[in-house]
Amino acid sequence: MADLVDKTNLIHMAEESRSAFRILSNSSNEARNLALECLSDSLANNNAAILEANKEDYGIAKANGMPESMLDRLLLDQGRLQAIAKDLSNIIHLDDPIGETIETRRMDNGLSLEKRRVPLGVIASIYESRPNVTVDISALCVKSGNTCLMRGGSESINSNLALVDTIHSSLLEAGLPTSAVQYIANPDRALVTELLSLKKHIDLLIPRGGESLIRFVSDNASMPVVTGGIGVCHTYVDTSADLDMARAIIVNAKVQRPTVCNALDTILVHANVASVLLPLLAKDLSKHQVELHCDQSSMDILNTNTPDMVLKEALQEDWGKEFLSLVAAVKIVDSVESAIDHIATYGSGHSDAIVTEDAESAARFLNEVDSCAVYLNASTRFTDGAEFGMGAEVGISTQKFHARGPMGLRELTSYKWLIRGTGQIRG
């Protein structure tokens, strides 16, 4: 039946999400946590159907020539499911944000005002090949009292349906409505356009995927949209940097998981340390088969000191490119100001880092780089809801309205004013 979703059914699903929201937003934290506990247990210990479904998706995608970077995002295995289950446990132990009193005021006329945190409502998400996103969004929405309507990529359809079945079982065990988490299984792209028109039913839309998806959603959505996830991430090595530290940070940021949005894309190196750092760094990265796209200055240094390495000349399009693979661009700059200017021109506002021992350079970089996460002497790979102690995230926002950076529980809330009086009228 899921494959038969059409325009009429989509509206009905959105209406069911709204009805479920009225229940979920008034449910107890204990009930919502119970649903997540059941889900965590199932993902860790009862996951055969999920793994089999993912195996089918992976096999089809590989046969169809999906790039390795996308295949990595699609894959679920025991280790990744165990990690997702652990993230769920972390979410369970987070404080319930709903009902928190943010502010109180007592007015001269005797009115008592309370600013209280509340869920946002019905949250829709359109995303591509990462099935773990299905769990992240569902779990954070349930914990924060929101309902969700999701549409994943066709390449992960079997994985997502298996995950949603598991989520529904967990909701039932906790006595919560399964319509709190819904999935649009029909791969017809026309339904995406229809979903974007449902302003009456959907309070917020979060796209997660490539630049073309995010641009399409931003241009066509009728409801508020939080965008992000495109990470053109830089690491700048300053003249005073600890070079061993810089090498370790850069290798980690580039190699540890190159297919994700917080992986390093462009290495900026101060001219004063380039001749020492770059040959060592190039050898470090070559051990992991990283391909370097170099500007002329860095190319000259590396050709002289590491003549056996295969290097590519950086093209204009390499600056500002999210590689999502074992490729990095390299550029030599003459100052921290030049590094900041480069990031301002080519960055995506995601995650950027400086490696330095100079307090003035550090302060300038941290203050002037206009990204959602700016690092001093650390890898950009930490831009993640779980790593930030948020349990997980529904996305990483690179915009400034409503939320910025990893979007966890609090970013899925709003507030309302409660005004208590004793018969006051305005004169």
List strands edge to edge, sheet with 181-183: 181-183, 147-151, 122-127, 204-208
In a domain, 396, yes or no: no
pLDDT-based confidence at residue 146 (cuts at 50, 70, 90): very high
* Per-residue pLDDT tens over the stretch 209-266: 878 888 899 999 999 999 876 899 999 999 999 999 999 999 999 999 998 899 999 9
Average pLDDT for 70-92: 93
Same domain, yes or no: 348 and 279? yes
> Looking at the structure, do residues 134 and 98 belong to the same domain, yes or no?
yes
Number of structural domains found in the chain? 2
Q: Check residue 129 and give its pLDDT.
A: 74
CA distance 407 to 384: 9
Q: What would the mean pLDDT of 287-311 be, rounded to a whole number?
A: 90
- Domain assignment present for 389: no
> Are 212 and 147 part of one and the same domain?
yes
Please indicate, yes or no, whether residues 87 and 219 belong to a single structural domain of this protein.
yes
My answer on whether 310 and 249 are in the same domain is yes
Asked whether residue 361 is assigned to any structural domain, the reply reads: yes
Question: Is 427 domain-assigned?
Answer: no
Is 171 in the same domain as 277? no
CATH number of domain containing 118 = 3.40.605.10
What 8-state DSSP symbol labels residue 2?
A: G
Candidate from 45-59, 351-365, 380-394 with smallest mean pLDDT: 380-394
Decide if pLDDT at 88 tops 80: yes
| Total-model pTM | 0.87
Within-domain flag for 401: no
The enclosing domain of 251 has a CATH number of 3.40.309.10
| Mean pLDDT, range 94-98, rounded to an integer | 94
Which residues contact residue 154 at a Cβ distance below 8 angstroms, ignoring those fewer than 6 apart?
187
Average pLDDT, integer, range 337-354: 97
Confidence class of residue 8 from pLDDT cuts 50, 70 and 90?
Answer: confident
Residues 179 and 48 in one domain: yes
Mean pLDDT of 346-356: 97
Residue 413: inside a domain: yes
Q: How many percent of the chain have pLDDT more than 70? A: 99
pLDDT of residue 5: 66
Q: Quick one: 40 and 122 in the same domain? A: yes
Would you state the pLDDT for residue 1?
A: 39
Are 149 and 126 within 8 A, CB to CB? no
The amino acid present at 340, given as its one-letter code, is: I
- Which of 144, 87, 97 lies closest to 389 in space, CA to CA? 87
Question: Residue 292 has which token pair?
Answer: 């370097």
Q: Is 402 domain-assigned? A: no
Q: Could you report how far apart the first and last alpha carbons of the chain are, in Å?
A: 59
pLDDT digit string, tens, across residues 16-46: 999 999 999 999 999 999 999 999 999 999 9
Look at residue 68 in the predicted model and tell me its pLDDT.
Answer: 84
Q: So what's the pLDDT on residue 4?
A: 53
Could you tell me if 324 and 339 lie in one domain? Answer: yes
Kindly state whether residue 335 falls inside one of the protein's structural domains: yes
The whole domain housing 323 covers 233-382
Report percent pLDDT > 90 for the chain.
84
Mean pLDDT over the full length of the chain = 94
pLDDT at 2: 45
Same domain, 260 and 120: no
